[in-house]
Amino acid sequence: MNKNLVYDIGMCDGSDTRKYLSLGYDVVAVEADPTLVEKAKRKFSNYIKSGRLKIINVGITQERGTDTFYVNDAMPIWNSFDKEITGRDNMPYREIKITCVPFADIIEEHGVPFYLKIDIEGNDIYCVRDLKPGNLPKYVSLEADNKADLESLDALRDVGYTKFQCINQNTFTPVSVPYEMKLNPGKMNFNDRLYLQVMYNKNFFIRALRKFKGREIFKFLLNPSSNLTYQIGTSGPFGELLPNDWLTYDQVKTEFLESFRSFDERHPNSSYGFWCDFHATY
């Protein structure tokens, strides 16, 4: 394991990558969307030249080859191999063919990182399945937004992780009952409040804004901060930077299920909105 290396699997606009670089880590970033990759190469050219950052333009799947990837230019955080995710709220998307590799290929070429951040909209499980017991990243986080993602939690346990947290990605605190979709407004800056409106509000105006002006809004909202705070929309703190206690597998599974149940009861017709990350260590 390389203690100075972080993997950003699902780089998107590069906000997490910038954070990891600012904390002093070298970064291997993987992103399927070639448009986002080209933007990141320009944005992070100095880090690439210095050797601290490598950006790999591939998708992560079970096998090597090419596959169809769905791109939502207004909401790139919804880019996915699953068009149902990419096209939420009947938003327009386009199809592209991309080169795909198993996550094991990335590990073999670049080594085992200290921290592995995974956020690839439905394909997170493929990364966990390729981890090898006895040679694991010290810390892992991956997205969980429905009960199906418990498969990834199970895979983390089975591969050798013993300590877990389930973090609400809107608050960067442990998930709660009832599930909270937003921070205390008094503690939020303007960008964070607007971000949550763009992400979750279902009224006609906001949905139209999301469909037609999303790219410009996100370019503004997700412009990385120069300080070390964590903005809504990023993966947030990890490892020992998490200000919470580590739980057992059974404890975190129960916490997740109870919080998800409370969200489902309050928003029974919502196809998204519950947003947390599983974190794991050993």
Query: Residue 178: is the preceding peptide bond cis (ω within 30°)?
Result: yes
Q: Which residue ranges make up each domain of the chain?
A: 2-281
Note the pLDDT of residue 271: 67
* 113, 6 Cβ separation under 8 angstroms: yes
Note the pLDDT of residue 273: 79
Block residue for tokens 């992103």: 31
* 185, 176 Cβ separation under 8 angstroms: no
* 164, 249 Cβ separation under 8 angstroms: yes
Confidence (pTM): 0.85
In the CATH scheme, what is the code of domain 2-281?
3.40.50.150
Q: pLDDT tens, position by position, for the chain (282 residues)?
A: 999 999 999 999 999 999 999 999 999 999 999 999 999 999 999 999 999 999 999 999 999 999 999 999 888 888 999 999 999 878 889 999 999 999 999 999 999 999 999 999 889 999 999 999 999 999 999 999 889 999 999 999 999 999 999 999 888 889 999 887 654 444 555 555 566 556 656 566 666 666 665 545 555 554 433 333 566 678 999 999 897 899 999 999 999 999 999 988 887 777 677 889 999 999
Q: Report helix angle 150-159 to 249-266, nearest 10.
A: 170
The beta-strand segments (E) located in the chain are 2-9, 26-30, 53-56, 59-60, 65-71, 94-101, 113-118, 139-144, 163-168, 173-174, 276-281
Please, what sign has the CA dihedral across residues 181, 184, 185, 191? negative
How many residues appear in the chain?
Answer: 282
What dihedral angle (degrees, nearest 10) is formed by the CA atoms of 71, 73, 79, 85?
Answer: -90
Block residue for tokens 């129960």: 254
Q: Cα(234)–Cα(226) distance, rounded to whole angstroms?
A: 14
